[in-house]
Amino acid sequence: MERIHVAVRSRPLSPEDARSSPWRISGNTIAHSAQSFTRFEFDRIFGEECRTAEVYETRTKRIVDSVVRGFNGTVFAYGQTNSGKTHTMRGSTNEPGIIPLAVQDLFQRIEEHMDREFLVRMSYMEIYNEDINDLLVPEHRKLQIHESSEKGIFVAGLREEIVTCAEQVMDFMSFGESHRHIGETNMNLYSSRSHTIFRMVIESREKGDDNEVEDSCDAVRVSVLNLVDLAGSERAAKTGAEGVRLKEGSHINKSLMTLGTVIKKLSEGIDGQGGHVPYRDSKLTRILQPALGGNSNTAIICNITLAQVHADETKSSLQFASRALRVTNCACVNEILTDAALLKRQKKEIEELRAKLRNSQSDHWGEEILNLRNTLLQSELEKERIALELEEEKKAKEQRDRRLIEQAKKIENLSSLVLNSERDDRSTAFSKDKRRVTWCPGPNTRQIGIEVLGPAAEGRASSTVRNERNMGIPPRFEELMQGSYASNDEPSSGACSSSDISKDSEDVSLPDSHALLHVTRRKPNTMKKSDQEQFGGTTGELVIPQDPCDGNDALQSQESTASCVVSSLSARESEAIFVIKQLQDQIKLLEAEKSSIQTNLDDVLELATQQKTSFSEKYEELQQNALAAQEQAKVANEKLSTLSANVKSNQEVAYGFLSNVLMETRGITLETDQLGNSVDSALSFIDELCQNLLTMAQGILEVKHSAHEDITQIGSMIMDYEKLLACLMEKFCKLESEKKLLEEQSQDQQNEIDKLKSSLESCEKAIDDCTLQHELEKDSILSDLLNLQKEVSTLSSSSLMKEKESIRKELDRTKAKLRETENKLKNSIQEKIKLQSEKAEAHKEVKKLQSQRTLLERDLRKRDSVTVDKRHELNSMPQELAEVFDQAVQMQEEYQKLEVHAFNMETEISSLQEALTTSIAEKDEALSKVELMTSELEDLANKLNSSESERNSLSDEIALLTKKSIASESILKRLEASFNSVSREKEDMGMQLTDALLDMESEKSIWTAKERAYLETNQRLNICLDENRKLSEDLIKVRQELVCCRERCRTLEEKLALSLEGDMNEKGIKCCEACKGSDQAVEKGRTIDGAIGENELQKQLLMITEERNSLLSETQQMRLIVNEAEVLKENCNIKLIHAKATVDELSSRISVMEVNMKNDAVAHNKEKTKLRMQIRWLEPQLEAHRGQLKEAVDEMRIMDAKYQEASTMLKKELSQSCREVLRLREMLKESQGTRN
């Protein structure tokens, strides 16, 4: 068993980073200067000035040696991006890395082992986006991982090249490096985007001569050397990865995370405990499974950077390396043995043993063999015996465990029984104490009664003792029992009955009477008749005719009621103790809740600070984006102003040119009409030519009219563009105003946050003060509760009803609070729906822009069709001219025929001599007409030449118009391109601003919700504090009133005791006098005097009882007030608990809303990326359309050139035809002259 060797190598730093570095290296330990607990120790730590050769010599060299001897070996390079992993593994020309050094050392070791023959194979693969690619054969991609019993874990389809020297290996490696995925990030110019595994498989066996072939063994050693260059873990915020780079980074981080979990599981020893190690979660860990906790010698080189900026990444990589130190591997020699090889090896060993025996020359080798066999048998027997003993020990251990479990159960049962018995003993002791209090109690029982009843009863007990001393010998026990029964069963009809007295004295407690009543039950209730008769006689003697209540009966009834009160007090003492325990538990719960509230407040403050920092960062980003947008808008406005000036100038030139052309065309049409009217009478073919010219002029007018329409359309388009730009400017101004409002809101929120912090601090101080007050009040309440255990027993059903009503009220309040929270949730859902509607409106605006774009494309297509029609018309013009020339040729032929016919006619005239005179006259007239016609023809020819010159000027103007139209088209294209760029920039700005607004609104909603929660919690805390203060004040008042009432009760009780003593003395004297006297008159007088005294006593008793009742009512009211105060306190505590629960629920709902908002933001970003992809997809189509437009313009130019060539040819032909007409006329003249 050997653990993984871990070495740390730090990248060199710049002087500034070295000054600010928080890490300190001392020997093989590295520690963080600011955090004393972050301290790591490794096998070796290399500083900035170490070379790769030193790193290789520490551990990798020994791994290469073991690979040659048949052990597997693996070397990792782990660390964050831009930490020097590839440099460590690959190196450079000046400083070779681990791989070149290992390859050279491997072949040197192979050359040193002359007794073995080796076969070396190498492969080179990369894991890119969780796909395995073969770097030696780039066509082999997305290879699969397989596992078999013979090969183990291998990659199917991976090329393995047989190599014989280090140079060949390096050539293959350089070829593979050329196909590796490398990209550029903000942190590294040449960042590795994939994990690479450089693998060398070494097979070896023993060499043997021809004679030694039979003796040699066929065992083959197969070892694997893996040199792994891992891609670095990275953060998108630092690398600036987007698109493909972001995807690559996510796959890299995922595979490294699985590698970290595998190392963590192995370091915890889960593999040895039968747990699951997730090798299959990543292809990297699956391929390198034997190197991680398996059959391999493994070393990890952890590359770090000691800069302050990368402190967190360095700490995480060091934690990974420290976990890897605890992973152990079990490396062994990998030999492949066939059955024949095993047989050969065993035969060889047997022969070696025989040779050793022969060399030893021992005659007793047979005996030695027998001794060896005996020792083997003995060892086997000992093994069996040890196994049996182990089984017996296991069984005994199981029995012991069972016994221990049973004993533990018994102990638990006994302990519970002991506790119950203690409770029973206490209760029985209490009851026994009560039962043993006799009518003549001892000192111990009296003390017990005083202790139970409290300090308030001590005075009363002493007074009763005095009464007993002053009263003399008390009556007999049976008489007291009979008197008590008579007082309970025979109510009198006098002014003051025993029932009334018992009702009035329900709350009076007399311990001696209580003891007497309880002692009565110890003896039988049967009484002698003589005693009853004697008792009845005495009572009959003392009774008045009106049946008044006897004093002894009243005392006995009071004693019975007092005994009932004491029993109720003794029964309720336990309830009071239970209530005290409940109150103590509630106090503990309140303290725990207070600590939890403080922790929650600390967490809320931390969250507030974090959100404040994130909000400030986002605010700075928004400011930068807004400034960039303003600059872009300024540039766009400048461009638009220049473009609008150019367009206006072009429009003015085009309008002036068109007006000139129209004037010229109108003049030409008038002149052609005049020429047509003058030539109609002359020649028919000239009329036809004029008609053709008119049609051509009409075509030119149509072309000009269409060009004018195109220019008007272009002007309208430019106006639309200007309107759009004005709308964009308005929107930009609105966005700027909204931005200012958001800035103001952010400042207000920051101020509110500061206020909330100050209020929270004050609340914490108030809570601390309240806790101190509560503790003091708790102590005072406990003391009061111990003193008022008897008063607590007077809780009636009315207090329970009040508690029920208060609980119902609190339930209604909680329901109202729940409704408020539901309303808040509904409001948040409505705000979310509003955000979604705004998002839909943004999508609608995008669709509108796309529809405008399609309309522009349609307009371009229409223009293309118009240009094509114009080209067709221009192509048809030379055809019409050709038709005109054909008609002219036909006319010339007809003219020639007429001339022939004229010659024939002249011959006939010459033959006819009779018509000479007439012919001569006609000839003269004809000559004059011919001269006129010739002059007219010359004028027409001049006019034709002028029209041709005008036509040439028109064609030049048409060419200029075409050039200008081409220039205007190019300007339009530029305008379209600028408009598209501006629209794209506008869309990007709109998307950015919408994203920013959404983020701001989400944060604003979060802050508002938190502020509301804080305000509600503060309000509730203030309310609870006010209620607690009021309760404490009420409690103080109640205590003062209770003290006053107690003093009054004591004074009244003393008065009662004194009055009762006087009455009892007088009654004793009167009874003695009644027994001695025998005269009826004296007896009557005495009875009358006794009755009068009794009436006075009854009146005094009534007065005292009324005062006592008033005092009792006041004490009851005070107790009710105390109970109400306690109920209010409990309600406040319950309200606090409910408030905490509502705060927790609101915080959980807020977190859920934050998660939903984040999900919506992610979905919005996805939609934004989709739209960007669509725009990128449409850009090549636009470029294709632009190319088509360029081709169409080139075709227009070619057609214009052809048109100009055709027009020049037609002009030449026209000039030739005119010349021929003149020549023919001259020939006519000459022929006429010859005839004359």
Check which CATH number belongs to the domain holding 7 and give it: 3.40.850.10
Instruction: State residue 73's pLDDT score.
Output: 95
What is the Cα–Cα distance from 1024 to 771, expressed in whole angstroms? Answer: 12
What is the Cα–Cα distance from 50 to 33, expressed in whole angstroms? Answer: 23
Task: Show Cβ contacts of residue 797 under 8 Å, excluding neighbours closer than 6 positions.
Answer: none
Tokens, residue 254: 């995922």
Q: Which helix (H) or strand (E) holds 1039?
A: helix 916-1076
Whether 787 contacts 454, CB under 8 Å: yes
CA distances from 479 to 392, 474, 532, 584 (A): 81, 10, 8, 49
Please, which pLDDT band fits residue 301 given cuts at 50, 70 and 90?
very high
Does 83 appear as a known binding residue? Answer: yes
For 487-510, write each residue's pLDDT tens digit.
444 433 333 344 443 434 334 444
Token look-up 């300090």 returns: 455
More confident residue, 539 or 1103: 1103
Tokens, residue 1210: 């037609």
What is the Cα–Cα distance from 1106 to 925, expressed in whole angstroms? Answer: 172
Whether 547 contacts 494, CB under 8 Å: yes
Mean local confidence (pLDDT), 342-358: 75
Whether 1091 contacts 550, CB under 8 Å: no
Please, which pLDDT band fits residue 776 given cuts at 50, 70 and 90?
confident
pLDDT at 1126 exceeding the cut of 50 = yes
Which among 521, 735, 730 is positioned nearest to 625, based on CA atoms? 735
Beta-bridged to residue 227, according to DSSP, are: 75, 198
Please, which pLDDT band fits residue 261 given cuts at 50, 70 and 90?
very high
pLDDT at 543 exceeding the cut of 50 = no
Give the mean pLDDT of the chain: 70
What is the Cα–Cα distance from 530 to 536, expressed in whole angstroms? Answer: 10
Q: How many helices (H) and strands (E) does the chain have?
A: 24, 19
Lowest mean pLDDT segment, chosen from 313-322, 449-458, 550-559: 449-458
What is the Cα–Cα distance from 1000 to 500, expressed in whole angstroms? Answer: 79
pLDDT at 127 exceeding the cut of 90 = yes
CA distances from 1218 to 383, 534, 697, 1186 (A): 139, 184, 21, 47
Please, which pLDDT band fits residue 974 given cuts at 50, 70 and 90?
confident
pLDDT at 463 exceeding the cut of 50 = no
For 454, left (φ over 0), alpha (ψ -120 to 50), or beta? left
Does 1234 appear as a known binding residue? Answer: no
For 18-56, write each residue's pLDDT tens digit.
888 888 888 889 998 887 777 899 999 998 888 999 999
Q: Which helix (H) or strand (E) holds 1135?
A: helix 1080-1235
Tokens, residue 1074: 């009644």
pLDDT at 969 exceeding the cut of 60 = yes
Lowest mean pLDDT segment, chosen from 128-142, 767-781, 956-970, 1067-1081: 1067-1081
Asked whether residue 478 is domain-assigned, the answer is no
Instruction: State residue 1027's pLDDT score.
Output: 72
**The length of the chain, given as a count of residues:** 1236
Q: Which domain holds residue 278?
A: 2-208+216-337
Which among 1228, 399, 453 is positioned nearest to 789, based on CA atoms? 453
Instruction: State residue 467's pLDDT score.
Output: 43
pLDDT at 1232 exceeding the cut of 90 = no
Sign of the CA dihedral running 341, 342, 345, 346: negative
Q: Which helix (H) or strand (E) holds 949?
A: helix 916-1076
Mean local confidence (pLDDT), 1181-1186: 73
Whether 793 contacts 568, CB under 8 Å: yes
Token look-up 């395995």 returns: 132
Does 454 appear as a known binding residue? Answer: no
Tokens, residue 99: 């791989």
pLDDT at 398 exceeding the cut of 80 = yes
Instruction: State residue 1148's pLDDT score.
Output: 74
Asked whether residue 613 is domain-assigned, the answer is no
Lowest mean pLDDT segment, chosen from 149-153, 848-852, 923-927, 1080-1084: 1080-1084
Task: Show Cβ contacts of residue 509 under 8 Å, excluding neighbours closer than 6 positions.
Answer: 453, 457, 460, 562, 565, 566, 569, 790
Instruction: State residue 649's pLDDT score.
Output: 63
The one-letter amino acid code at 11 reads: R
Instruction: State residue 726's pLDDT score.
Output: 73
Distance spanning both ends of the chain, measured CA to CA: 144
Sign of the CA dihedral running 943, 949, 951, 957: negative
Mean local confidence (pLDDT), 984-1006: 69
pLDDT at 1034 exceeding the cut of 50 = yes
More confident residue, 94 or 708: 94
Q: Which of 78-87, 449-458, 1066-1075, 1122-1131 has the highest mean pLDDT?
A: 78-87
Asked whether residue 161 is domain-assigned, the answer is yes
Asked whether residue 258 is domain-assigned, the answer is yes
pLDDT at 927 exceeding the cut of 80 = no
Q: Compute, in degrees rounded to 10, the torsion defined by CA atoms 341, 342, 344, 348.
A: 130
Token look-up 């083997």 returns: 376
Instruction: State residue 741's pLDDT score.
Output: 74
What is the Cα–Cα distance from 993 to 1006, expressed in whole angstroms? Answer: 19
pLDDT at 259 exceeding the cut of 90 = yes
Q: What is the percentage of the chain residues whose pLDDT exceeds 70?
A: 48
Mean local confidence (pLDDT), 571-577: 65
Mean local confidence (pLDDT), 1033-1044: 73
Question: What is the longest distance spanned by two Cα atoms in the chain?
Answer: 225
What is the Cα–Cα distance from 831 to 961, expressed in whole angstroms? Answer: 59
What is the Cα–Cα distance from 394 to 726, expressed in whole angstroms? Answer: 94
For 367-386, write each residue's pLDDT tens digit.
766 777 777 788 778 888 88
Whether 450 contacts 458, CB under 8 Å: yes
Asked whether residue 446 is domain-assigned, the answer is no
Q: Helices 511-520 & 477-489, crossing angle to 10 degrees?
A: 100
What is the Cα–Cα distance from 915 to 906, expressed in whole angstroms? Answer: 11
- Tell me the DSSP string of 838-875: HHHHHHHHHHHHHHHHHHHHHHHHHHHHHHHHHHHHHH
What percent helix, strand, coil does the chain show, rounded to 5? 75, 10, 15
Q: What is the percentage of the chain residues whose pLDDT exceeds 90?
A: 13
Number of domains in the chain: 2
Of 337, 370, 405, which one is at a domain's C-terminal end?
Answer: 337
What is the Cα–Cα distance from 305 to 318, expressed in whole angstroms? Answer: 11
Does 520 appear as a known binding residue? Answer: no
Does 1181 appear as a known binding residue? Answer: no
Mean local confidence (pLDDT), 1189-1218: 77
For 1080-1110, write each residue's pLDDT tens digit.
544 555 555 555 556 666 777 777 777 777 7
Please, which pLDDT band fits residue 753 given cuts at 50, 70 and 90?
low
Token look-up 């149509």 returns: 702
Does 91 appear as a known binding residue? Answer: no
Beta strands in 195-327 (DSSP E): 195-206, 220-229, 297-304
Token look-up 């638990």 returns: 412
Asked whether residue 848 is domain-assigned, the answer is no
The one-letter amino acid code at 879 reads: Q
Lowest mean pLDDT segment, chosen from 602-606, 658-662, 852-856: 658-662
For 888-921, write each residue's pLDDT tens digit.
566 667 666 666 766 666 566 556 556 566 656 6
Does 97 appear as a known binding residue? Answer: no
What is the Cα–Cα distance from 515 to 562, expressed in whole angstroms? Answer: 10
What is the Cα–Cα distance from 406 to 398, expressed in whole angstroms? Answer: 12
What is the Cα–Cα distance from 287 to 262, expressed in whole angstroms? Answer: 13
Task: Show Cβ contacts of residue 567 under 8 Å, excluding neighbours closer than 6 positions.
Answer: 514
Which among 135, 115, 117, 111 is positioned nearest to 125, based on CA atoms? 135
CA distances from 584 to 587, 794, 1035 (A): 5, 21, 18
DSSP state for residue 969 in the 8-state scheme: H
What is the Cα–Cα distance from 857 to 861, expressed in whole angstroms? Answer: 6
Edge-first strand listing for the sheet containing 23-26: 23-26, 29-32, 39-41
Lowest mean pLDDT segment, chosen from 324-338, 351-365, 814-828, 908-922: 908-922
Tokens, residue 479: 């008489």
pLDDT at 213 exceeding the cut of 50 = no
Q: What is the pTM of this model?
A: 0.36
More confident residue, 55 or 967: 55
Q: Helices 511-520 & 443-453, crossing angle to 10 degrees?
A: 120
More confident residue, 770 or 735: 735
pLDDT at 549 exceeding the cut of 50 = no
Mean local confidence (pLDDT), 1185-1209: 76
Of 337, 369, 388, which one is at a domain's C-terminal end?
Answer: 337
For 430-448, write each residue's pLDDT tens digit.
444 444 444 444 444 444 4
Does 258 appear as a known binding residue? Answer: no
pLDDT at 523 exceeding the cut of 50 = no
Query: Residue by residue, what is the 3-state secondary structure of 473-529?
Result: CCCCHHHHHHHHHHHHHCCCCCCCCHHHHHHHCCCCCCHHHHHHHHHHCCCCCCCCH
Asked whether residue 471 is domain-assigned, the answer is no
pLDDT at 266 exceeding the cut of 50 = yes
Instruction: State residue 151's pLDDT score.
Output: 81
Whether 86 contacts 214, CB under 8 Å: no
Asked whether residue 31 is domain-assigned, the answer is yes
